[in-house]
Structure 1
């Protein structure tokens, strides 16, 4: 892939940010609440979309087409958030308390529903495909979850745009190091397990993703987020590198 083509993610990020800024300024200048949905959509989706493109443009032996990646993002987001929300609600209703670890297990499993269906029912079995499909599924989940948090924050703050921007900025920037990294890594391990039969390794990767997720949900400091983000991205990078080795086997 030529160098210019590998910078498509940067173009998408730049254009997306520009559209978000213009959209928000028009909303503020016109005081028109009709712009709120598009502002939330752009704020939640720009960084996840750019990161999916970044991963897709790496020099890995992908076989999965763009249509399947888009489907993984869309269905992974919708099915993942709905499944996680329903299971978390049922658990809360029965137990009264939902520990962070239980939330992490539910959400990490929910995000794998669509990737699992893809690896089982399609012919896209290259380990690198797992990385891209997993990152896409995590992107869809992260974007929809951020939209939900942003809307709730806007309502609870009685329309405070500063509050809305803070939620979109924090969750948008950290999305690649959160849901996208965890699901990308676990999906990569899932694809490798289907290829090599190393299911114990997949289980260990899933447990590590759950631990990172639970730690993320339990920490409320920027330093803590930065530390877990670094570990999560290194985690994804290590599994991505492993896909090249698995392909060569």
Structure 2
């Protein structure tokens, strides 16, 4: 089984990475570089958009930006239908699994439902950030496939290695390092090859890499949970399972555990790509710091599963708190991703997706062109 997963991982990683590299966008159709009304301020001033991201440079303006409205904007869209589809797949698949007890049924159901949930989330974010301008669906699928391969080839082997050395305690303590390494492998390799460096494209492939990991892991866990194989988080043998417990575990994983994977990686990439875009190599400490922080939070989240062993009440409370953490991580992801909401979306999205905390570097009005003049980036001062 291990050999099969390694071979499958190598094939998926190679094929997905090659496709993502070959399909890399040449020059995104992004809004032109110029001064726009500052979306991060209620004041009448302008901020420089360099063609790919908002910078810290601000200058006087004649009008304030339309910063959107609460609970309005581009929330609802076609992304809802994949989410509905996931519910239908789960209902039909779990019903069939209860009647047949065929493990392949719950595995395929988990795969399809997880993929649809990922599609829904990506569709929602793409709607806010106008991601189709900078990346296509084929590129997202290619990165997800490559990441799924990295999950089998790198992530599982690293987890097995740490588990064999120090048991479940060490494996959970280092899970942030091992799993985020496998998820960031593809995005960073593509970045180093000079592709997908646009910050919005970075957010997209960060999510895609998390999607690939989540889909692969959720499908694999369907087999492991149904077989009751391996120790649980408390180090004991996994208790005997029923179709009901398998279904409950998979539903909880799809909606309560797997979202961490794309949110963690999305946050790490959003921080790193922005730092590298704005500051070049000087941004590396900030980029690596953001990645390291995500790894630590990831490990702390998984380590919490080992707390309260033998105390059902404590474990139930911790499980509920992890759902709260999913919401917190989404808010953190949004806080970083919205820094790249492009100019044409300002006012169309809600205030929640309007850029904030972009920094301020004042530029004298005589050094900034008039609002209807050709753009030029202000000189560093």
Shorter-chain TM-score: which interval?
A: 0.7 to 0.9
Tell me if structure 2 keeps the 8 A contact 1:212–1:232: no
Give the aligned partner of residue 224 of structure 1. Answer: 321
Would the alpha carbon gap of residues 6 and 227 (structure 1) be closer, same or farther in structure 2, given more than 3 Å must change?
closer
Give the aligned partner of residue 292 of structure 2. Answer: 207
Would the alpha carbon gap of residues 101 and 23 (structure 1) be closer, same or farther in structure 2, given more than 3 Å must change?
closer
Aligned pairs for 1:32-181 within 5 A = 35-60=105-130, 62-94=133-165, 98-121=170-193, 123-156=195-228, 160-175=242-257, 177-181=259-263
User: Using the alignment, how far apart are the partners of 2:102 and 2:178 within structure 1?
Assistant: 38
User: Using the alignment, how far apart are the partners of 1:110 and 1:31 within structure 2?
Assistant: 33
User: Using the alignment, how far apart are the partners of 1:164 and 1:172 within structure 2?
Assistant: 12
Cα deviation, residue 60, structure 1: 3.8
Cα deviation, residue 7, structure 1: 1.6
Tell me if structure 2 keeps the 8 A contact 1:69–1:133: yes
Question: What does the per-residue CA deviation read over 1:129-170, in whole Å, with 9 as the maximum and x for residues that have no partner?
Answer: 111111111011012112222221111266622112111111
Would the alpha carbon gap of residues 6 and 158 (structure 1) be closer, same or farther in structure 2, given more than 3 Å must change?
same
The structure that is helix-richer by fraction is: 1
Q: Pick from 236, 250, 265: which aligns with 1:183? A: 265
Compute the RMSD of aligned alpha carbons: 2.7
Structure 2 spans left out of the alignment, 5+ residues: 1-72, 229-238, 306-317, 342-354, 359-376
The structure that is strand-richer by fraction is: 2
User: Using the alignment, how far apart are the partners of 2:100 and 2:320 within structure 1?
Assistant: 38
Q: Bigger radius of gyration, 1 or 2?
A: 2
Q: Which is further off, 215-224 or 28-37?
A: 28-37
Q: TM-score, normalised by structure 1?
A: 0.85
Q: Which is further off, 172-181 or 21-30?
A: 21-30
Q: Pick from 332, 336, 359: which aligns with 1:239? A: 336
Q: TM-score, normalised by structure 2?
A: 0.58
User: Using the alignment, how far apart are the partners of 1:134 and 1:150 within structure 2?
Assistant: 25
User: Using the alignment, how far apart are the partners of 1:93 and 1:19 within structure 2?
Assistant: 37
Would the alpha carbon gap of residues 81 and 201 (structure 1) be closer, same or farther in structure 2, given more than 3 Å must change?
farther
Tell me if structure 2 keeps the 8 A contact 1:142–1:179: yes
Tell me if structure 1 keeps the 8 A contact 2:89–2:113: no
